[in-house]
């Protein structure tokens, strides 16, 4: 069975500091994709960053980077220079080649403190 | 990134009535769309996979006769909640796969803004 785990239900970070949101996964598949989405209070899901299981380099998108450790099956999201607008729910998700579905973690609520 | 719209954004209806929610991909063709349900402070639960021109694939435990899905074109999928009851009140979100070569990983799902359904 495939499983995505986010162990931090809530996180706080000072504005302009960096923060790491944890995500671990469990799969026997070799080919898969890892995604992070941001969900502000408005409800929309905003795509942030993608990492393929065969990608050798960690993905980066602006202030977002993904710390991918395949052997440890972890795909942590790092947000640098936090801004007040970063306060939101963050979901880690995984897509397996064997199906179309995305499997989502339980989410982490991030609050940026001024 | 690709844009997915959803309409309506918010709907309140009486128990026993049916509600239709539309999901559109605005700048790409989506052969596959997905419908999710999200309870307050919970994660997204996949309800069904909508395939253009064929029947939807429902996840275990989702009543196909209650949640009717129609994917009539490459840019539109609809979810109809039939004979809605208060327990159907929830946040419904659709997403669409952008299979173009420009999409990261070609499997990225882009989400609509969601529809908040309240059944009285």
Question: What's the pLDDT tens digit per position in B61-99?
Answer: 999 999 999 988 889 999 999 999 999 999 999 999 877
The verdict on a CB contact (< 8 Å) between B93 and A45 is yes
Chain B residues within 8 A of A105 when measuring between CB atoms: 43
Interface test with A, best of B44, B56, B60 (most A CBs within 10 A): B44
The verdict on a CB contact (< 8 Å) between B114 and A44 is yes
User: ∠A19-A24-A27 over CA atoms, to 5°?
Assistant: 155
Three-state secondary-structure class, residue A22: coil
Chain B residues within 8 A of A52 when measuring between CB atoms: 105
Q: Give residues with Cβ within 8 angstroms of A69, minimum separation 6.
A: A75
Q: Give residues with Cβ within 8 angstroms of B92, minimum separation 6.
A: B21, B35, B36, B37, B38, B79, B114, B115, B116, B117
Burial of residue A100 (number of CB atoms within 10 Å: 0-12, 13-18, 19+) = middle
User: ∠B80-A48-A110 over CA atoms, to 5°?
Assistant: 90
Mean pLDDT of B30-46: 90
* pLDDT at residue A71 tops 80: yes
Chain B residues with CB within 8 Å of chain A CB: 1, 32, 34, 42-44, 46, 49, 91, 93, 95, 97, 104-105, 107-114, 116
* pLDDT at residue B20 tops 80: yes
- A101 pLDDT tier (thresholds 50, 70, 90): confident
> What pLDDT, on a 0 to 100 scale, did the predictor assign at position B106?
57
- A5 pLDDT tier (thresholds 50, 70, 90): very high
Mean pLDDT of B50-64: 90
A41-69 pLDDT, tens digit each: 989 899 999 998 988 899 999 999 999 99
Q: Which residues pair with B6 in a beta bridge?
A: B23
A18-38 pLDDT, tens digit each: 999 999 999 888 888 899 999
The verdict on a CB contact (< 8 Å) between B34 and A106 is no
> What pLDDT, on a 0 to 100 scale, did the predictor assign at position B10?
96
């Amino acid at each position: 069975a495939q499983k995505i785990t986010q162990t931090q239900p809530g996180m706080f970070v000072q504005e302009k500091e960096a923060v790491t949101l944890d995500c671990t996964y469990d799969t026997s598949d070799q080919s898969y994709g890892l995604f992070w989405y941001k969900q502000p209070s408005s409800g929309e899901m905003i795509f942030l960053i993608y990492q393929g299981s065969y990608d050798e380099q960690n993905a980066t998108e602006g202030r977002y980077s993904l710390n991918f450790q395949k052997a440890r099956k972890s795909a942590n999201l790092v947000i640098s220079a936090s801004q007040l607008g970063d306060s939101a729910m963050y979901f880690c998700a995984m897509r397996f080649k064997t199906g179309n579905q995305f499997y989502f973690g339980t989410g982490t609520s991030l609050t940026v403190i001024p | 990134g690709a844009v997915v719209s959803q309409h309506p954004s918010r709907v309140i209806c009486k128990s026993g009535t049916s509600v239709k929610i539309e999901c559109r991909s605005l700048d790409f063709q989506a052969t596959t769309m997905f419908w999710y349900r999200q309870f307050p402070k919970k994660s997204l639960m996949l309800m069904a996979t909508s395939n253009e021109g064929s029947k939807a694939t429902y996840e275990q435990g989702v009543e196909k006769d209650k949640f009717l899905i129609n994917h009539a074109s490459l840019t539109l999928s609809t979810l109809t909640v039939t004979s809605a009851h208060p327990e159907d009140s929830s946040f419904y979100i659709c997403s669409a796969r952008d299979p173009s070569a420009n999409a990261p990983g070609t499997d990225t799902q882009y989400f609509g803004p969601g529809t908040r359904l309240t059944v009285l």
